[in-house]
Structure 1
Amino acid sequence: MRKNRLVRFLVAGLVLPLAVVLGIAVPSEAAGRAGVALSTSAGPAGASVTVTGTGFARQSSGTLTAGSSTIPFTTGANGSFAADVTIPASTAATVVVTAKSGKTSASAPYSVTYSPASTSAGRDSAAMASSAPITMAAPAQMSTTTVNLPISSDPLRFGVSTPGGPLATSELDAVATLVNENPSIVMSYKDFSQAAPIADLNAVDARGATSLITWEPWLWSGNGANQPAYALDRITAGDFDTYITQWGTALAAWDKPVMLRFAHEMNGNWYPWAESANGNQAGDYVAAWRHVHDVVAATGATNVQWLWSPNVPYWGSTPLSGLYPGAGYVDVVGLDGYNWGTAASWSSWTSPSALFGDGLTALRSLAPGKPIIISETGSAEAGGSKADWNTALVSYLAAQSDVTAFVWFHHNKEVDWRINSSTSSANALATALAARNS
């Protein structure tokens, strides 16, 4: 047996170099174990993915398959190849990409984060093809009762975000009852796996309010700020253009005013679209914003107002000057800011003027003449009087002629930001809102 092994070893050692010299294709066993790698392992259907293969027979032809997409490839003298394949629409969460040449094959999975054929897109995807405003049935669990309270006509608009979003009518009614007026802005959140929320838009419109969608280019189920598939340069490169176009088409078809807050709080480090995270580089954010804006604009979605919304500047945050996309790409500017009080070890009680003052100055310098929205705010109870803070907030913002709205983050999350975290808090905000109308 040892002798036979030695003979086979010597033959292989002579045949392989000779075959290379003569240009003869060598079986894949001689070329090595076959494998394929994808330029990105996750993204939307319609994305173009570069597939790199190694270990195949040298100078041989093969077929690359991704679902229903099939393209040919040819390996080089070292048995490798690189080819681009388009990920097709699929109802499956994973599309297997397979390269096959002769009897040799290798595969790699691609996770589909969004597909117009997926059941999660459902009715919204079908609605995208319509040029008429879209009416969608509400889920069975949604209350259809709306509190009969007015929306204020004051120049400082009151908006809200609640845990259940626009379809949770009972939550919005509860907020209206607390402050004695219906919110004129309802904000919701969507990641890059979700279709344009036409049902949400219809629900908010039925209340006489304006929708503000926070559109986040990542997966909520992903690995926090480390999501390379959603790096800013991948967005700019067009990996998500099919998905973005779907959104633009749907919003254009809806044809009523909607505010789109794309990739907010970009000057921090807690989201994968921050330039200080996820392998992003300086300049990537502006390039990605402009690309997304242009793709949506190309669908004819002139009803979209673009809201650029950083966090209030803090020590160590990325300077806003390098993150502003430019006047032609932004309609409204915003700020997110919270009074954490003493709820965190690093925080202290912060008045509304101290919280927002520097940020408002920066926005006015970067975007002169643009309307300003406080796009997220709230206060903790610990460390001071939340009731007094609420009163001061409305008074301070009402005195800023270019601040047109504020949106209260009515969630019990890191701390209890809700308006009614205490009775005194709710009463104070209601009184302050009523006073601004006088």
Structure 2
Amino acid sequence: MIKCRKNAILMAARSCVLALSVAVSAVGMSRSVLADDVQAPGGVTDERPVITDSSIAFGAYDPHGDFSNDRNVKIEHLFLPWEDVDLSTLALADAYALQRGRSLMITIEPWSWSVDWRKSPDELLKGILAGSYDSNMAAVCSAAADLKSPVIIRWAQEMDDTSGQFTWSNWSPKNYVAAYQRMITECRKHLKTAQYMWSPKGNSNMQGYYPGDAYVDIVGLSVFGLQAYDKAHFDKERTFAEALEPGYRLAEGFDKPIVVSELGYEGDDAYACKWAKDVAKAHAQFPRLTAVVYFNDREVHPWPDNYGLPNWRIGDHRCSS
């Protein structure tokens, strides 16, 4: 995976926008994903979902370029730190998306990907509220304003997470709301046309972090299915709909479009295929759901209870046709 650190290209936990240049070069050898009725050897199909409900858009975070040739993908998801990054490479992402008729969803993470450069939760919060990071947000949003693709800005996601993955998830709801409002206000000064996504993980405490209707165009939720975890914690294998349900019910009260901003599943063939089929079909119980965006890579933070780093990347499972 590729990240930009000043003028150097380094290996990192999540891909920088420069990874899209790798995806472009990989087009010739990439597998077609989400294509209608993709057939695998032996008359079976891959476990990749084929979205059949025209009201639902499909997107992907795809640092490996697996989705490069897929015409069904409508959203290109990028992760971007606001420090230690070469923002000029956003133009590559824009060109890549334009060639494929995709919009861009840009997750801005308020830190550096270099762990040694990261501030403590209190230091980061105090800096944001004091205006010390206004210029960081302004720089990213000014660069995004030059892009031709439609843009969604997703800032400081999964603030309700309790695993310790994100510096900003240690803040109180009141402080997070103040920081979010300040950053969206700053971004709007430079980026007039973007939509703004508030994106909790979907935990029961998420509602306290809601920054207000004036600062949110879309609500994002994270939905992951790990077969072994399901069996241990729910005494069964959950479906996509069952995993989405709790967060969706909390989110629907905000009266905003809802997007599954990060989706992934891992298990045996039967489990993966069930998720793929469940994701792809229409769900009348989720009328506000407008898009699902797949996280096509290995997890970057260990799951609790020693489940390690699940690999969400679409793999070699085979589903009966």
State the TM-score, normalizing by the size of structure 1. 0.56
Cα offset, 1:258, TM superposition: 0.4
State the Cα deviation string for residues 178-207 of structure 1 (Å, max 9, x = none). xxx431111111112224423212211221
Indicate whether 1:416 and 2:307 are aligned. no
1:305 aligns with 2:195: yes
Gaps of 5+ in 1: 1-112, 122-135, 429-438
Q: Select between 141-150 and 331-340 the one with higher mean Cα deviation.
A: 141-150
* SS, match of residue 376 in structure 1: strand
Taking the aligned partners of 2:62 and 2:277, their CA distance within structure 1 comes to: 21
Alignment match, 1:332: 218
State the Cα distance separating 1:255 from its structure 2 match: 4.9
Conserved 8 A contact 1:218-1:230: no
Q: In structure 1, what is the Cα distance between the partners aligned to 2:123 and 2:276?
A: 37
Distance 1:210 1:187 in 2: 9
Q: Does 1:272 align with 2:167?
A: yes
Aligned partners of 1:186, 1:234: CA distance in 2, in Å?
A: 31
Between the aligned partners of 2:117 and 2:146, the Cα distance in structure 1 is: 33
Q: Determine the C-alpha separation between the residues in 1 that align with 2:282 and 2:195.
A: 25
SS for the counterpart of 1:186 is strand
- The question of whether the paired residues in 2 share the 8 Å contact of 1:252 and 1:302 is answered with yes
Alignment pair present for 1:289 and 2:180:
yes
Residue 360 (structure 1) aligned with residue 248 (structure 2): yes
**Mapping of residues 114-263 of structure 1, within 5 Å:** 119=7, 142-143=24-25, 145=27, 154-164=54-64, 168=65, 171-173=66-68, 176=70, 181-193=71-83, 194-196=85-87, 197-222=90-115, 227-228=120-121, 231-263=124-156
Task: Give SS of 1:388's match.
Answer: helix
Higher relative contact order (CA closer than 8 Å, sequence separation 6+)? 2
Distance 1:153 1:353, change over 3 A: closer
Match in the other structure for 1:60: none
Q: CA deviation at 1:233?
A: 2.9
Mapped to 2, the partners of 1:347 and 1:356 lie a distance apart of 16
Q: Which runs of 5+ in 2 are unaligned?
A: 10-17, 37-50, 300-308
* Counterpart for residue 11 of structure 1: none
Q: Secondary structure at the match of 1:199?
A: helix
TM-score by length of 2: 0.74
Contact 1:216 1:263 (C-alpha < 8 Å) held by counterparts: yes
Q: CA RMSD in A?
A: 3.4
Q: Deviations over 1:96-125 (max 9, x none)?
A: xxxxxxxxxxxxxxxxx98xxx5469xxxx
Aligned residues: 275
CA shift in 2, pair 1:303/1:283, >3 Å: same
How far off is 1:329 after superposition? Answer: 0.5
- Does the CA-based 8 Å contact 2:94-2:149 persist in structure 1? no
Partner of 1:30: none
Rounded Cα–Cα distance in structure 1 between residues aligned with 2:269 and 2:203: 22
How far did residue 330 of structure 1 move? Answer: 0.8
User: Contact between 2:295 and 2:312, CA under 8 Å: does it hold in 1?
Assistant: yes
CA distance in 2, matches of 1:224, 1:343: 33
Cα deviations across residues 12-47 of structure 1 (Å, max 9, x unaligned)?
xxxxxxxxxxxxxxxxxxxxxxxxxxxxxxxxxxxx
Q: 1:344 to 1:184 in 2, by over 3 A?
A: same
8 Å contact from structure 1 (residues 205, 211) kept in 2? no
Structure 2 CA distance, aligned partners of 1:350 and 1:225? Answer: 36
| Cα offset, 1:241, TM superposition | 1.4
Deviations, residues 18-77 of structure 1 (Å, cap 9, x unaligned): xxxxxxxxxxxxxxxxxxxxxxxxxxxxxxxxxxxxxxxxxxxxxxxxxxxxxxxxxxxx
Answering whether residue 213 of structure 2 is matched by residue 322 of structure 1, we say no
SS in 2 for 1:342: helix
Alpha carbons 2:24, 2:96 under 8 Å: kept: no
Retained in 1: the 8 A contact 2:75–2:105?
Answer: yes
Change (3 A) 1:378 1:418: same
**Kept after mapping to 1: 8 A contact 2:21/2:92:** no
Q: Could you say which structure has the larger radius of gyration?
A: 1
Distance (Å, rounded) in 1 between the aligned partners of 2:23 and 2:249 = 44
